[in-house]
A and B are shown apart, each in its own frame.
Chain A
Amino acid sequence: MDEALQLVADGVVVAAALAVAAVGLSLIMSVLRMINVAHGDLLTVAAFAALVCVNAGLPLVIALIVAAVASALIALGLELSLWRRMRARGGSNFSLLLLSVGLAYVVRHVLFLIFGEETHQYAPPTRELAIGPVYMTREGLTVVAGGAVCMIGLAALLKWTRIGTAMRAMADNMDLARASGVDVARTSAITWVIVGVLTGVGGVLLGIGGRIFPNMGWNIILLVFAAVVLGGIGTAAGAAVGSLVIGVGQELVTHSALGLPPEMKQAFVFLFLVVALVIRPQGLFGARRYV
């Protein structure tokens, strides 16, 4: 039982970072109907941006802010230079997807070229604290807190701000939104900025909870997709629930009672993703398109 609880706790930490990563991907899928395969590698860029700051002696909080701003600027830059142009030329969702595959390769291997293969950490890990029956590190707690703040903040933004309403309108029905006076170009750009900030924070949280290396984002992109698909596209709550299922689920399958090698855990998550996509493409929880 203690082993199971510990696995759940580990899973929650994974889920917190995953949720922040997932909700960004999910927003782009719902508002702009694009599957951004480069999302994982943009998370990596943010993690490395923070690493550079930390190595320069800046405190981690400042590094986080720098990473978020840099990531937002990159996202906006890509929207203005690539995605928007592609959409204006009538490029299909599929050509956007392919373009993002190309971008993913470029970004990841530029990182390899600059930083090499080694793995890095922001700081040496701290001692584990006993919280009730489970052990958690300070880093783990930070990730859970950071993830919760992001998800609640985003949910509030979507629900109560004007831009949130515009985003939901676009997610619901692009033509109707345009007809009822939503400035589609501006809303798209702001969506990318918001997603950029989330990507920045998500990348740094992933780095805090684990290690920083050029493949870190690519390695989890399928998990992120799985979380989005499970939770349902376009909602903060959906991404959170999906991430919890994925994060906790993949830790639990390593329970010693099952006797599976730990490398198999991802195979199970992917299998889960396939099954989820096939039986309920609109997500196991949450409605299809509404935020």
Chain B
Amino acid sequence: MTGYIISVLVSAGIFALLAQGLNLHWGYTGLLNFGVVAFFAVGAYTMAVLVSVFDWPLWAAMAAAMLAAAVLGVLVALPAIRLRSDYLAITTLAVGEICRIVLHSSPGVVDLTGGPSGIRGYSHDFFGLRETLGLQWMTGLEFLMAAVWIVVLLVLLVVTVMIRSPWGRVLKGIREDEDAMRALGKNVVAYKMQSFAFGAALAGLAGVFFALNLSSITPEAFLPMISIYAWVIILIGGGGSLLGPVVGSVLFWALFNATTFIPSEWMSSQDAAYLRLILVGLLIMVMVLLRPQGLLGNRKELLRESRH
């Protein structure tokens, strides 16, 4: 049981960061990003490559991972941000796949990423910190859990301050009506780029912890499924609510990992995995049909949908 709780909390923390990034894009700025996995992957790989190939210290590699994800965010947004929202969704979905394929088999890139066999040996520094800090009484996983959740809370604090500031208000305005904001003298494209880069950096940070939770990362760990998980979490928690991604993530992983309790006489672990994904799909459908504002979302904030 404690094993279950810790594994849920580790995953939930990582995905709370990822979903917070998506929350900035979708929940606060109205940008339909179906490719957060691209930034997640770039964050994970940047950290892993810098630490294991170039021997960078962990903290520097982490900062570089966030920066790399943000830069990719700007590069994607530069041409794509003006697209109709559903086309932006397809474009970002494709960008996620391009990233994965490039990490898997692009000449030049695979020399660093190890291609399909992946990359390993980047997490000693992180788990070494445990001794440095005198926290040997914790298991490695517990240490990771603690670290992730400290970061989740810090990010929550930063995002809360930013969203409640006039900057966040402009983003919400853009989500509501771009043209109105343009008429009010706001440079909408610039704000969308900022939101996109910031959310991408958070997704990159999530990717760092995702990699630390695995002894090695391969491109197959970054399927479009990851983006979908982030969406489900936002749907559960409610887009445009600060705590939504955190609560949504915990509920999602509690439910997702609960399928490990299915006795193996009933169902093979492979079938249980399929069942889990059916559950993910059903969850999306139920949330869209019954509670489109999410569990924490505000009913009143839905007025717009009912009017159109």
A and B associate in one complex = yes
Contact A270 B98 (CB under 8 A): yes
Could you give, for residues 269-308 of chain B, a 1 whenever the CB lies within 8 Å of some chain A CB and a 0 otherwise? 0010011011011111100110010000000000001111
Q: Indicate whether B101 reaches chain A with its CB closer than 8 angstroms.
A: yes
Nearest-neighbour CB distance to chain B for A187, whole angstroms, equals 22
Write out the residue numbers on chain A whose beta carbons fall within 8 Å of the beta carbon of B98: 267, 270-271, 274
In angstroms, Cα B283 to Cα A225, docked, is 25
Write out the residue numbers on chain A whose beta carbons fall within 8 Å of the beta carbon of B163: none
Q: Indicate whether A195 reaches chain B with its CB closer than 8 angstroms.
A: no
Could you give, for residues 215-253 of chain B, a 1 whenever the CB lies within 8 Å of some chain A CB and a 0 otherwise? 000000000000010010001000000000000000000
Contact A260 B107 (CB under 8 A): yes
Contact A222 B97 (CB under 8 A): yes
Given A35-B86, A113-B275, answer yes or no on A270-B94 (Cβ-Cβ < 8 Å): yes
Contact B282 A102 (CB under 8 A): yes
Contact B285 A277 (CB under 8 A): no
Q: Indicate whether B20 reaches chain A with its CB closer than 8 angstroms.
A: no
Nearest-neighbour CB distance to chain A for B227, whole angstroms, equals 10
Write out the residue numbers on chain A whose beta carbons fall within 8 Å of the beta carbon of B271: 113
Q: Indicate whether B104 reaches chain A with its CB closer than 8 angstroms.
A: yes
Could you give, for residues 89-112 of chain A, a 1 whenever the CB lies within 8 Å of some chain B CB and a 0 otherwise? 011111101110111111111101
Nearest-neighbour CB distance to chain B for A160, whole angstroms, equals 31
Write out the residue numbers on chain A whose beta carbons fall within 8 Å of the beta carbon of B277: 105, 108-109, 112
Write out the residue numbers on chain B whose beta carbons fall within 8 Å of the beta carbon of A154: none
Total interface residues on A, using CB and 8 Å?
A: 41
Given A94-B85, A102-B285, answer yes or no on A229-B228 (Cβ-Cβ < 8 Å): no
B137-168 at interface with A (beta carbon < 8 Å): none
Contact B308 A92 (CB under 8 A): yes
In angstroms, Cα B306 to Cα A90, docked, is 6
Q: Indicate whether B95 reaches chain A with its CB closer than 8 angstroms.
A: yes
In angstroms, Cα B105 to Cα A273, docked, is 19
Write out the residue numbers on chain B whose beta carbons fall within 8 Å of the beta carbon of A104: 281
Write out the residue numbers on chain A whose beta carbons fall within 8 Å of the beta carbon of B84: 281
Write out the residue numbers on chain A whose beta carbons fall within 8 Å of the beta carbon of B85: 94
Point out the residue from B83, B104, B305 that lies within 8 Å of A90, measured CB to CB: B305
Nearest-neighbour CB distance to chain A for B271, whole angstroms, equals 6
Contact A278 B91 (CB under 8 A): yes
In angstroms, Cα B94 to Cα A267, docked, is 8
Given A104-B281, A263-B101, A266-B97, answer yes or no on A113-B274 (Cβ-Cβ < 8 Å): yes
Nearest-neighbour CB distance to chain A for B269, whole angstroms, equals 13
Contact B289 A99 (CB under 8 A): yes
Contact B284 A264 (CB under 8 A): no
Q: Indicate whether A261 reaches chain B with its CB closer than 8 angstroms.
A: yes
Write out the residue numbers on chain A whose beta carbons fall within 8 Å of the beta carbon of B107: 259-261
Which has the most chain B C-beta neighbours within 10 Å: A91, A109, A112, A259?
A: A109
In angstroms, Cα B84 to Cα A277, docked, is 10
Write out the residue numbers on chain A whose beta carbons fall within 8 Å of the beta carbon of B79: 274, 278
Q: Indicate whether A86 reaches chain B with its CB closer than 8 angstroms.
A: yes
Q: Indicate whether B89 reaches chain A with its CB closer than 8 angstroms.
A: yes
Point out the residue from A108, A225, A278 that lies within 8 Å of B83, measured CB to CB: A278
Q: Which residue of A lies closest to B34 (CB)?
A: A101
Q: Which residue of B lies closest to A260 (CB)?
A: B107
Contact B228 A273 (CB under 8 A): no
Contact B231 A101 (CB under 8 A): yes
Contact B278 A105 (CB under 8 A): yes
15 A-B pairs in the complex with CB atoms less than 8 angstroms apart = A35-B89, A35-B90, A91-B305, A102-B282, A102-B288, A105-B280, A106-B285, A109-B274, A110-B278, A113-B275, A222-B90, A229-B87, A264-B101, A270-B98, A271-B98
Residues of A near any B CB (own CB < 8 A): 35, 86, 90-95, 97-99, 101-110, 112-113, 222, 225-226, 229, 259-261, 263-264, 266-267, 270-271, 273-274, 277-278, 281
User: Given contacts A95-B288, A104-B281, could you give 20 more A-B pairs where the C-beta distance is less than 8 Å?
Assistant: A90-B306, A92-B305, A94-B85, A97-B89, A101-B281, A102-B284, A105-B278, A105-B280, A110-B274, A112-B274, A112-B277, A113-B278, A225-B94, A261-B105, A264-B105, A264-B106, A267-B102, A274-B91, A277-B91, A281-B84
Residues of B near any A CB (own CB < 8 A): 32, 79-80, 83-87, 89-91, 93-95, 97-98, 101-102, 104-107, 228, 231, 235, 271, 274-275, 277-278, 280-285, 288-289, 292, 305-308
